[in-house]
Amino acid sequence: MLGSGLSNEYLTQIFDQYKDLKYGEVASYIPELKKAKPSHFAISVVDCQGQILSVGESELEVTLQSVSKPFSYGFVLEELGIEEVHHKVGVEPTGEAFNSIIELEESSHRPFNPMINSGAIAISSMIPGASDAQKLQSLTEFFGTLVDRTVHVDNTVFLSEKKTGDRNRAIAYLMKNFGILSGDVESILDLYFQQCSILMNTEDMAFMAATLANGGVQPKTGKNIFKAEHVKCCLSLMLTCGMYDSAGRWAFEVGLPAKSGVSGAIIAVVPGVCGIAVTSPLLDEHGHSCRGLEVIKKIAGDHNFNIFNPRG
């Protein structure tokens, strides 16, 4: 593959090396996610020229969960601008789990950043549209432009999370109390749960990551989806906050902006080079895909992708 130095043989070798790694647990706090197949495993890489490398079940769709967060954040940045968005959401890491209840800044009561649940729920409240249906449509259309096709919400996962999402509900009502959220909290939560339930396959997710790697331009369609300054916002927050309470270790060991989701998806961005996506539902105690972490760490190490490495 031109841009990244990766080859099909290399990716197949990595796949074979990690396919027998079987530790971790499938997420169960959203009951529907328990149905994931523990053996599911796929790796896709898309470079900035739009070339694709994939191994494993890369066509199998899973819900995005928190992998959606940097993109919905980028979407509202495009719609409202940095100042308006960050009036309501901060840019600091928490060192806490994704669903921590103690996650509002002490004086401003803003959520710390858009990568944790509170921040992402606040971002959902900024999605444009005159009605709930229009908001959902603008959100799915936006995600569709990222992958150049029509995308759908997995309604069963959405309803499963809506039914059991009291922790997110509590966080959202707390934000309403502090004036961070305005409007109907249940509608905002529905949109957040629907965003997390958008179905994508591994290749789609690599395209999404590659769009950020490519300065906001979708490598296949050439569409300019994010302004360069907004790409910078997304990537810096993915690096410092994308991996929740293990973001420090991730930056220290891997040095790539990344985002994981509890469906077992994880993406990493190699700026100017490529996007990497791994899907595999067995999760560690932080909610990250166990195979995903190892695979991205290995690929990044083998190819000198750490953004803090001197290039040359």
Give the integer Cα–Cα distance in Å for 87 and 45. 35
User: Binding ligand GLU by CB under 6 A: which of 90, 119, 287, 292?
Assistant: 287
Secondary structure (3-state) at 255: coil
* Alpha-carbon distances of 62 from 11, 40, 65, rounded to whole Å: 21, 10, 9
Binds ligand GLU (CB under 6 A): choice among 32, 103, 161, 190: 161
Binder to ligand GLU among 48, 196, 269, 278 (CB under 6 A)?
196
Residues with Cβ within 8 Å of 141's Cβ and at least 6 positions away in sequence, in order, are none
Residue 262 is a binding residue for ligand GLU (CB under 6 A): yes
Question: Using CA atoms, how far apart are residues 69 and 65, in angstroms rounded to an integer?
Answer: 8
- Please tell me whether residue 99 binds ligand GLU under the rule CB under 6 A: yes
Token digits for 3?
Answer: 């841009």
The answer to whether 14 and 8 are in contact (CB under 8 A) is: no
Tell the smallest beta-carbon distance from residue 262 to ligand GLU (Å). Answer: 4
Q: How far apart are CA 18 and CA 33, in angstroms?
A: 22
24 binds ligand GLU (CB under 6 A): no
Asked if residues 135 and 64 have their Cβ atoms less than 8 Å apart, the reply is no
Of 115 and 300, nearer to ligand GLU (C-beta) is 115
> Which residue lies nearer to ligand GLU by CB, 54 or 289?
289
- In the residue annotation, 192 being an active-site residue is answered as yes
Pick 113 or 117: Cβ nearer ligand GLU: 117
Asked if residue 282 binds ligand GLU (CB under 6 A), the reply is no
Quote the radius of gyration of the chain (alpha carbons, Å). Answer: 18
Structure tokens at 123: 């971002």
Catalytic residue among 58, 62, 68, 69: 69
Residue 117 in the binding site for ligand GLU (CB under 6 A): yes
Binding-site size for ligand GLU (CB under 6 A) equals: 11
Closer of 76 and 172 to ligand GLU (Cβ): 172
Q: Closest Cα partner for 256 from 237, 276, 270, 241?
A: 270
Q: Which of residues 59-78 bind ligand GLU (CB under 6 A)?
A: 65-66
256, 270 Cβ separation under 8 angstroms? yes
> Considering 217, 262, 270, 295, which one is annotated as catalytic?
262
Based on the shown chain and the rule CB under 6 A, indicate whether residue 125 belongs to the binding site for ligand GLU: no
**Distance between CA 247 and CA 93 in Å, rounded?**
8
| From 55, 100, 192, 278, active-site residue | 192
Q: How far is the CB of 98 from ligand GLU (least distance, A)?
A: 4
Question: With binding defined as CB under 6 A, does residue 98 bind ligand GLU?
Answer: yes
- The binding site for ligand GLU (CB under 6 A) comprises 65-66, 98-99, 117, 161, 168, 196, 261-262, 287
